[in-house]
Structure 1
Amino acid sequence: MAPAIPTAMERPHFIGIGGAGMSGIAKILARRGARVAGSDAKESPTADALRELGATVRIGHAADHLAEDASCVVVSSAIRADNPELARAAELGIPAVHRSDALASLMTGLRSIAVAGTHGKTTTTSMLAVALSGLGLDPSYAIGGDLAGPGTNARHGAGEIFVAEADESDRSFHKYAPEVAIVLNVELDHHANYASMDEIYESFEIFADRIVSGGTLVISADQQGAVELTGRLRTRSGLNIVTYGESDSADVRVHKITPRGLTSEVTVVVDGRFLTFTVSVPGSHYALNAVAALAAGVALGVPAHNLAAALGKYTGVKRRLQLKGEAAGVQVIDSYAHHPTEMTADLAAMRGASAGSRLLVVFQPHLFSRTQELGKEMGQALALADASLVLDIYPAREDPIDGVTSELIIAAARASGADVTAVHDMADVPGAVAGMARPGDLVLTMGAGDVTDLGPEILARLSS
């Protein structure tokens, strides 16, 4: 039986319903019987999928898109106060509910796993969702990206487990009270909301303190920020801490990661026993995400050998080193990486998976604030490519910052010896790539913005 829908969520209106996080919650509520409505900036396959579930989706933002009998409006931190639907809700006395509160309400009464960290949340959440589903546990899940297998970012399952991606960017992960939490890594990011590492640590400590008494924190034994956080949490009573990683001190220890083309074979030691399984995406960082998923499932009571076998059936998530196609002997792969650590990891993974191939990158910086703080490191990461095209900054929710442009990244890349070219018009990219690429090359479109749309266009131009 599905958990009861809170009264406030019986007739929700989502502003920005097509977004990865918002659409997942809307899909689950629709499956549970809520009368879902919402608006988005443009038509999309996500909007069509929501309509198939019975949701009313309107395009554009206008006050009259909001029904007067809506029980609430659901918003994310990206929705500005002057949004006409939000303003209309205030006039009508309809309460505004943050996306994280809506998600927390869906998790109530279920055994929840919340996946947090500066990088890798979507992949790890997806791995857990696929593995637990494959074992017949029928979990519910809400993910910040579409699975390559089931092809969706959310599901309402009949089982007792709920797996959720927990976003630290705006501190919204403080709303959850999971039975098991994962912290993959802790780094400084989201500079508009965090001024220092001390603020980051404090935020993750609050998240860890939300784990239910007797629950478990699964955390990296390798990454510096995670190790520091573990030290700060060791004195907490009622909290079980399970570490994972390549460190000899890890509770779930990685014995070996063996690259095999675009996959990896992973051997881990759990409770003194060796387990080996395959991860279908390249790179040690993805292998470690799978080990984190394994440790979390074990903490929930799922046998390790069953989980290892089920994780081997994971086929990836869209935009996480996703092969978009091949044309003229050139493979085009899409990466969501937008933080220097993610960029370095994905570029290194592609290097390891394709020895001898040239690696060409089309990079779109994401957010002015991130570029201002980390532009130098982004440029240094691009030195791992043979050549890169750098687009203008994708602003997302931000306004421009004086003096902050892609030139910060380009200058740092060139200082590191990288071959980098600025491209200001996305329409010029397919032709530029076709002029650079030759058979055997790999082309990586990289960034969290609309650079992903270029993959099919590049393939079409290479084919012509």
Structure 2
Amino acid sequence: MSLVKLVDPIAVADLGRVHFIGIGGSGMSGIARILLKRGVRVTGSDARSSELVTELRELGATVHIGHAASHIRDVDTVVVSTAIRDSNPELGEALKQGLRIIPRAAALASVMAGRTAVAIAGTHGKTTTTSMLTVALQKSGADPSYCVGGQLVTTGLGADDGQGGVFVAEADESDGSFLMLAPDIAVVTNVEADHLDNYGDPRAVHDSFARFAERVGSLLVVCADDPGAAELAAKARERGLRVRTYGVAGEDYRVSGVRPDGFGTVFAIEGRGNVRLAVPGAHNALNATAVIAVADELGLPFEEIRQGLGAFTGAKRRFEAKGEAGGIAVFDSYAHHPTELTADLRAARDVVASYSGSGRVIAVFQPHLYSRTRYFADEFGAALGLADEVIVLDVYGAREDPEPGVSGAMVAERVPLPEGRVSYAPDRASVPGLVAERARPGDIVLTMGAGDVTELGPQIVARLS
């Protein structure tokens, strides 16, 4: 897969009738929802039905299950995601008809136009930070429009068209498409090597974020604790862009005293006092501080934002509770990069320590993409060493074809835990039984990965019951 072709944004009024190939995806469905609420005629297709597809139909979209050239009828603009292959019959028909074909990010740029645009970027933490900011703004009465790469627990939605003047969006760097956005305010949580199947080497990832920063109109908010983000901040300042930094090393928003508090987190911001979150992990204290920096720029009262942050209960698949049985709690996480695994496993340890002190963390990890598994097998193994018991599934290939010699076993054999505490489970159906054999009251089970490992949470709870 190559980086997407960058195109100039198009006014919503000029899009005409819009067809989404892969409309059921979290990002695509969100943009389709906003266009429908603005009166645009929307059609689309997806490989399978889902709750998101049902919701779009209820809003007036025509959605086909399965892809066929005949679906491209009375269409002006076709929106595609990078998950769509060149062999897709609808894409081929759109090319044949000479229709306007744009990537998802270009459609996002269209719906953001005319609002105060806030984009949340970074290798990790985008969805949670975007969701936190959205909820905090909603609680303050700002009623933002938003488009998140996941679903808010509070609303059950991943996108909506608010009546306020702010539009909050997650900016996806995976394919370089965030370079189609030109936000007024941007947050960069961190800059690390990832998506090397696209970028080729880590330096190209950093260069892409530098280009993104060049597109920011007013303010760049950056986490000073991350070396890649700190480097980005320094370069942006040299160009004359206004920059605010946050974190333990933050110059403008200094974080201290981070500690677990039950399932939540308490921390302090210098000159502001304590903030309590209802979600665990030191990384979420940093995400929340980024939200406060953006809210300051928007002129919103700190006390209202603090209350809004306290009301944030998470985004789906971000340390999401799936149930409890026999004193064993099961959570699910979208973590699919070593840094994300490390953050979530540390958060799990905080939760265990806060509740019982004697429980263990059982990690169930499904590597995502063969290329990522090959690049980061050592780092995945080291991160999983933070758990007490580890079960590694086989690779979820997603858009990639299998690579000889690349499997979940590459990760399992690199986990630095004693023999018997690490299992490679290529048969996904065996995992609930494996967990039931190992788990005991007080433990936390955390399923992790960007693939269908998310389906295991309820199955594990049922088996434990």
For the aligned pair, the TM-score class normalised by the smaller chain equals: over 0.9
Measure how far apart 1:207 and its partner are.
0.5
Checking the alignment, whether the CA contact within 8 Å between 1:188 and 1:194 is kept in structure 2 is no
| Amino acid corresponding to residue 439 of structure 1 in structure 2 | P
From the superposition, tell whether residues 418 and 255 of structure 1 become closer, same or farther in structure 2 (CA, over 3 Å): farther
The DSSP-based 3-state class of the residue aligned with 2:458 is: helix
1:151 aligns with 2:156: yes
**Residues matched between the structures, number:** 452
Per the alignment, residue 167 of structure 2 pairs with 162
Q: How far apart, CA to CA, are the structure 1 residues paired with 2:420 and 2:105?
A: 41
Can you list the C-alpha shifts for 1:354-395, whole angstroms capped at 9, x where unaligned?
122111111100011111100111011111111111111001
Asked if the contact 1:180–1:296 (Cα under 8 Å) also holds between the matched residues in 2, the reply is: yes
Instruction: State the Cα RMSD in Å.
Output: 1.5
Show the counterpart of 2:6.
none
Q: Give, in angstroms, the shift of residue 244 of structure 1.
A: 0.3
Name the counterpart of 1:347: 345
1:236 aligns to 2:234 (yes or no): no
Aligned residue for 2:71?
65
Matches within 5 A, 1:184-199: 184-199=189-204
Please state how far the C-alpha of 1:296 moved relative to its aligned partner. Answer: 1.3
Taking only the aligned residue pairs, the percentage that are identical comes to 52
2:254 pairs with 1:253? yes
Task: Return the alpha-carbon distance in structure 2 between the equivalents of residues 391 and 18 of structure 1.
Answer: 26
Distance in 2 between residues matched to 1:5 and 1:135, nearest whole Å: 29
Structure 1 alignment gaps of length 5 or more: none
Match of 2:223 in 1: 220
Q: Separation in 1 of the partners of 2:98 and 2:135?
A: 41
Residue matched to 2:428: 426
Residue 117 of structure 2 is aligned to residue 116 of structure 1: no
Could you report, residue by residue, the CA deviation over 1:205-246 in whole angstroms, capped at 9, with x for unpaired residues? 11011011xx00000111111112222222112x11000001
**Secondary structure in structure 2 of the residue aligned to 1:396:** coil
SS of residue in 2 equivalent to 1:379: helix
Per-residue deviation, 1:437? 1.6
> Which residue of structure 1 aligns with residue 29 of structure 2?
23
Say if 2:260 and 2:281, in contact at 8 Å, map to a contact too.
yes
Cα deviation code 1:36-92 (max 9, x no counterpart)? 1111111111111111111111111111222x2111110011111110110011112
What secondary structure is seen at the aligned counterpart in 1 of 2:162? coil
Structure 2 match to 1:388 = 390
Map 1:326-345 to 2 at 5 A. 326-345=324-343
Contact 1:8–1:71 (Cα < 8 Å) also in 2: no
Q: 2:196 touches 2:202 (CA, 8 Å); kept in 1?
A: no
Query: Is contact 2:187-2:222 (8 Å) kept?
Result: yes
Find out whether 1:206 has 2:224 as its counterpart: no
SS at structure 2 position matched to 1:412 = coil
- Mapped contact 1:117–1:183 kept (Cα < 8 A): yes
SS of match in other structure, 2:186:
strand
- Cα distance in 1 for partners of 2:410, 2:368 equals 13
3-state secondary structure, aligned to 1:27 = helix
Q: Are the counterparts in 2 of residues 5 and 32 from structure 1 also a CA contact under 8 Å?
A: no
Residue 321 of structure 1 and its aligned partner are, at CA, apart by: 0.7
Per the alignment, residue 126 of structure 1 pairs with 131
- Aligned partners of 2:375, 2:386: CA distance in 1, in Å? 20
**CA offset at residue 93 of structure 1?**
1.7
* 2:12 pairs with 1:9: no
State the 1:5 CA deviation. 6.1
How many Å separate the matches in 2 of 1:36 and 1:380? 46
The residue that corresponds to 2:313 in the other structure is 315
Deviation at 1:424, TM superposition (A): 1.2
Contact 1:380 1:416 in 2 (8 A): no
> Aligned pair in 2 of structure 1 residues 415, 257: CA closer, same or farther (>3 Å)?
closer
Q: Secondary structure at the match of 1:162?
A: strand
TM-score by length of 1: 0.95
Tell me the secondary structure at the aligned position of residue 36 of structure 2: helix
The correspondence for 2:93, drawn from 79, 88, 111, is 88
Q: Distance in 1 between matches of 2:416 and 2:339?
A: 19
